[in-house]
Amino acid sequence: MKIFYLDLSISIIESYSNYNPTKYGGGSIFVRIAKEFPNFCIYAKNECFNDLTSQDNKSNCKTIVQEQIDKLLNNVPIEEVIPEIKDYDILCHCTPNIYINTDNIKTKQLSWSVGYNEQIHEKHQFLLLYNDFQAPIRKNPDVKIYTFILGKQIPEFKEYKKEDYIFQCSRIVQDFCSIEVATFCLKNKIKGIFAGPIYSDYPFLNFIDNKYTYYLGEISEEQKIDLTKHARLYTLLFNWPAPMSLSMLESLSFGTPVVTTWCPFTNSIIKDKINGFFSFNDNDLLNAWNKAPEISQFECYRSILKFNHYNMIDSLYNCFNQILNE
């Protein structure tokens, strides 16, 4: 089985490619793991591979240019743009509203939906989801849906000394309530550390005083992990039904409780006052801050053990096998 992953570098934030291994979206962690497999090849723009290290397997990473992407977006048959695609069994990409012209080749096209209520192109026959909560909008009612376990490399359990700060590492946008969290920190004189790309004209920096609230910009994977390990509380608040969050899994794997918004996905992982908290208002957030030291680091860790990268790869390859047998 040979899998071809195509990154079209289409993002609401130009500098935020989901598949740059140095970034911290779900896609980047997925690709950092998957590219270690010999029959999994990633095609992306050169900047997506800028920060690969000597420890990374670069042989699975192939560069495409914007001209090739433009042709694909204009319905040019993919074999005319990337001839080697004919050697692969499955083409996978993360833009379900776009159909890549694979009409003349045997390679099957699988679109991976990473959001909620995403529009699915009518020509797609196969769709990959994290879970049923995503509720994709399908123009083709016959599209076959497959779900897999999104996971990460989970470290061995270790207790960490927690420090008195709230940490949020995400896109800094209204969707993730970044201003609300910063306002809470300022009001209650609690240290809040924020990292990630700021979306468009979102006025987040107006709430950074460098006394209680700090903005670090886009940080490295190593910085993110260190800050997550030692945070008293990790915030994952949002105003939409998030389908999945690797940052939640990562925080819990380091024994850091998560305060989050209730939705079907978070409710499937967070057990209130056991490994985290649900927050509906500032009083809930303050209670989470006060109660966080009482949370067992091991309970946090234990709650996400099934979301490991071995289960992810197994479940993903199970989906691939089902598609090939269709």
pLDDT one-digit tens code per residue, 183-213: 999 999 999 999 998 887 899 999 999 999 9
**Which residues pair with residue 6 across a beta bridge?**
43, 93
The Cα-based distances of 280 to 141, 174, 248, 277, 287 in angstroms read 36, 16, 18, 10, 11
Residue 162 has pLDDT above 60, yes or no: yes
- Which is more confidently placed, 53 or 106? 106
Counting the structural domains of the chain, the total is 2
Residue 253 · residue 231 · CB < 8 Å:
no
Average per-residue pLDDT in the chain?
Answer: 87
Q: Are 18 and 94 part of one and the same domain?
A: yes
Q: Are 184 and 89 part of one and the same domain?
A: no
- Asked if residue 157 is part of any domain, the answer here is no
Average pLDDT over residues 141-164: 92
Q: Are 146 and 176 part of one and the same domain?
A: no
Residue 236 has pLDDT above 90, yes or no: yes
Average pLDDT over residues 13-37: 51
Q: Are 207 and 230 part of one and the same domain?
A: yes
Domain encompassing residue 91: 3-152+308-324
Residue 34 has pLDDT above 50, yes or no: yes
Q: Are 66 and 144 part of one and the same domain?
A: yes
Nearest partner of 231 among 160, 283, 287, 288, judged by Cα = 160
Residue 18 has pLDDT above 50, yes or no: no
Q: Say what percent of the chain tops pLDDT 70.
A: 88
Q: Are 283 and 264 part of one and the same domain?
A: yes
Residue 29 has pLDDT above 60, yes or no: no
- Asked if residue 93 is part of any domain, the answer here is yes
Q: Are 170 and 293 part of one and the same domain?
A: yes
pLDDT value, residue 25: 53
- Asked if residue 158 is part of any domain, the answer here is no
Confidence at 15, pLDDT banded by 50, 70, 90: very low
- Which is more confidently placed, 10 or 270? 270
- Asked if residue 23 is part of any domain, the answer here is yes
pLDDT value, residue 27: 52
Q: Look up the CATH number of the domain holding residue 237.
A: 3.40.50.2000
